Structure 1
Amino acid sequence: MQLTAPATGTRPRTRDADGMAVASFVLGLLGLLVLNVFLGPVAIALAGVALWRGTGRRARALLGLALGVADLAVLVLAMDMTHTVSWSL
């Protein structure tokens, strides 16, 4: 059996997926306060891709997914309460 070093310039998919899981969590958390109409869907998409690629940080990706959905729920609730298309603190 011959052991070879990985080719230069390649990154493991799980490392990228772990980064996406963390990014989805951070963007979902940030989206609860600002720009939830943009950050919510981005958090959902990043969490979905991280889960699809088999991240080692599955719980963080699921939290990012939940926070992304919560971002959109907060936006809909705030729009319903203020009868506007946007809201601010």
Structure 2
Amino acid sequence: MSTATNTHGTAEPARPARSHADGMAVASFILGLLGTLVLNIVLGPCALVLGTLALTRGTNRRGRALLGIALGAADLLLLAALTAADGTLSWHIG
């Protein structure tokens, strides 16, 4: 376990970098956006999980994490609507 020195000169455990949480927020947004076009059965849940993890880990990109969660939910709703209309898990335009 790594340690860091605080302002009082004592060692304390290093905090996890928020850059990982920021990366998760951006990945959540991108996967949610891509999921509206392709593979929404896979990318939608991934966007939901990554967005939630980013928020719980204290991301600085809260808006992107929330958008990723919203887009992930929209992916699954889109899949449900298209499946109900067509009767299959695959869909096409035209």
What is the TM-score with the length of structure 2 in the denominator?
A: 0.81
The CA deviation at 1:86 is 2.4
The CA deviation at 1:83 is 1.5
Secondary structure at the counterpart of residue 84 of structure 1: coil
1:23 aligns with 2:27: yes
Question: What is the number of residues matched between the two proteins?
Answer: 85
Match of 1:67 in 2: 71
The CA deviation at 1:80 is 0.6
1:39 aligns with 2:43: yes
- For structure 1, list consecutive stretches of 5 or more residues without a partner in the other structure: none
- After TM superposition, the runs of 4+ consecutive aligned structure 1 residues lying more than 6 A away are none
- After superposition, give the CA deviation of every residue in 1:35-89 in whole Å (9 maximum; x if it has no partner): 0000000000000000000000000000000000000000000001111232233
Name which of 53, 59, 73 aligns with 1:49. Answer: 53
- For structure 2, list consecutive stretches of 5 or more residues without a partner in the other structure: 1-7
The one-letter code of the counterpart of 1:22 is V
Name which of 69, 82, 86 aligns with 1:82. Answer: 86
Which has the higher relative contact order, 1 or 2, with Cα contacts under 8 A spaced 6 or more apart? 1
The one-letter code of the counterpart of 1:83 is G
**Higher strand residue share:** 2
What is the TM-score with the length of structure 1 in the denominator?
A: 0.85
Task: Quote the Cα distance in structure 1 between the aligned partners of 2:49 and 2:88.
Answer: 26
Task: Quote the Cα distance in structure 2 between the aligned partners of 1:84 and 1:18.
Answer: 36
Q: What fraction of aligned residue pairs are identical, expressed as a percent? A: 55
Q: CA RMSD in A?
A: 2.0
